[in-house]
Structure formats: C-alpha cells, structure tokens
Structure 1
C-alpha cells in the first residue's frame, strides 16, 4: 500500500446530510493531490446516496440526498476504500489549459501599484505571472471563478484598500498571495494586471463552466490586437473555447 493512503483524513459530521473530510490545513499541491484522489474514490463508490462532492484547498465535503441515519458507517466505508485503494484506481484526470491574457496598459490598471510594491519591472511581473503553471484548487465566490495556486511569492501584493464598484469579467488580478480571473462583472479589490478574452462562465454553452477543479493552466501573453481577434471569434463561435484546452 502506498504511504499516500496510510494517512487518514479527519472526518466530521457537518450537518444532517453532509460530511467533511480534512487533509490538514496547508494550501499546497501535495495536500490537494490527496483531496482530488479522495474525491475520485468517493465518486466511484457513491451509489445513489450522494448529491454533490465538493473539493476545496484541503477538504472534501460530501452532500447527501437525504438525512444521514448512520453517518459513522458511511465514514468507515469511505476511509476503508481510501486505505485499500490502488493508486491507479484513484488517478484524477488533470486537463492542461492555455489562457490568453493581454497585459496592455488599457487592461492593467494596477500594474504600477504592483511594480512599486514588488520592486519589479513591468516585464518581470508579466514574465513571473505567465511563467508558472497554476492549479485550479476550487471554483467559487462567483460562478466559474477559479481559486489558483500558487502565485510566485515575489508577486504578492496587498489588495486595494477600497474595492472598485465594478471589475469587468475576464479581468486578471492579484490579491495578496493569490491570482485569479473574474468570471463575471462584480465589485472587487484585487490588483488588476491584465484581461483574458475568454468567458469563464457562459450559460449558453454546452459546458457553461470552462474551468474544473484540478485543471492545470498557464497564462499566455497576447497583444491587444490578438485579444480582440480572439474575443470576436468566441463571440461568434463560443464553443471554440475548447481549443484552449491543450492537454
């Protein structure tokens, strides 16, 4: 048995129809690796009891279709599956995405604030931001909004003291030690450094949510001209967004 499965998650009854399994408190890829695998195991053995399985940075919450009569039996069964699972049985699928981002002045309203705080040049900020592979740890806050990890520590910049009343969808920002993409127009206090022409959430598409938990993505810098070319193409053919799934 792999050492991965020797460490049992902490189980907690969180409601009449929900359980939570915790893998510690660290926000890092090793922990999330376990979260993804446990979610896969739970999905494989859910039967018709589970309503939804929700992974986060370091927990898995399972919601049931009805009130739990014997929650401890379910906990024991899932932990037993975890202990005896073979690694290949729980291997989660990870998609690779390439997300175009325009860092032009028109879309990078807070770039000067980021460079002043980090003591980096504009080119260094873009290079560090786009030179890293990010994991989508979870979707939340807004429909389709990805919580990404991890931002390069040199780019960490405090959020705005006063949030903006409106941040446009597609905006790419830095908030503290995190980076993310606004999926809808909404108020926001992250430092704006760019924008993607991709709609992360579009109810009209066959798959309304573009991101999935566990996705691996990189940001691809594009020019202002390329930004509008992609934007216009996707406005006419929204399903073409799939071409940015590269693996």
Structure 2
C-alpha cells in the first residue's frame, strides 16, 4: 500500500506537473526554482518505491535458490539504491529541514549513516562470498531502510492505541515523536539482533524473547498499517 501511495500521490502530482502538491504532506518539499533540491527529492521518492518493492523480494528463499543470478543483480540494485536514497535523505534533511525539529533531523541522520554502513558491509561480504555475514548485514540494511515506513505505521498505531495524538505536540515535536525518531529503526533492529542471536545460541530464554519481540512488533505494525492506510494513504489517493 505504501508503494501505491508513493506512486499514486507523488507520482501522479509529478505527471500532472503539480509537484507543489507534495507540500501538502512534506515539510521542505517542493521549492519553486530549487532545481537541484527538487530533483534530489523526486529521485528520493522514486527510489523509495523501488526499494520498498525490492527489499521483500530479496528475502524470499525460493528466489535465491532458483534464480541466484537474478537475486544477485536485484541485490546489487537494492544496495546501490539504499546508498543513494540515504545520501539523498541526508541532503534534504540538512538543506530543507523536516517536521519534528532537531530530534527528527538527528534521528533521520543517524538512520541514514547506519544504512550506509550496513549496505557497504552487505556488499563487501557478498563480494567475498561470506554468505552468512552478507545475509545478516542485508537483513540489517532492509530493517534500517524501512525506518521511514516503521515511523509512519508506528505513529499511527500509537495514535490509535491512545485514541488521539498523545505526546505528538502541536509542532510535531512532542515526547513520543522525539522517542520514535530513533525507535522507529532501533526497535526493529533490536528484534533482528535477538532473532540472529537466538539462531546462533539457541536457548529457551532467547527463543522466548525473540518470539515476544516479533509478536509485539507484528501486532503494532499491523495496527499501524490499518491506521496509516485509512488515515494517511487512501485519503491522498481519492
């Protein structure tokens, strides 16, 4: 649904030559006369759609087993796109700003740097045929790249659970926003680390912690997807 929203709202506005409509949902979005920044933003949005589709496909074991060459080329494309989208995001957040003030700016920047590190490590281990390490870093890259998605669905889940914008703030700089600016990628990353450690050193406690983390994350994200679809994405497509 997120991809449909990106293409259906941002893409449709661009095709209609009305990029100023992006500013309905973006802070520091389209700027008249700001050619370089506008091109970076457009590329960032397009790459977001590509990477949202490509990431889950790379995690399908059957694809790796039956179409290894396709998996490799899709992986290269994914890593390069992850690097470019991170650089574009860093450029935009420090030249055009973002909602949420400094907490969001710093949170997005840390996320971007972590994506760059994870993507480079995934590429290096793949090139060296260290497949297990490559798999771990590739999964970390996927989680970190998905930070913007986790932020949106987590935010809507929080609003639905509290039946209102508790801790959001009038200027989108409330305590929950400041917390979730970092938690949107660090919390899923922590669950991934628990999952990988449970694989390395199986124990009842480790398995229980991993299962609990996955269940909580799945329930919260499921609730958030419903909220984001009904409250954020579908209204922009109608």
Query: Could you say which structure has the larger radius of gyration?
Result: 1
The structure with the greater share of residues assigned to helix is 2
TM-score greater than 0.5 by the shorter chain: no
Question: Structure 2 length as normaliser, TM-score?
Answer: 0.24
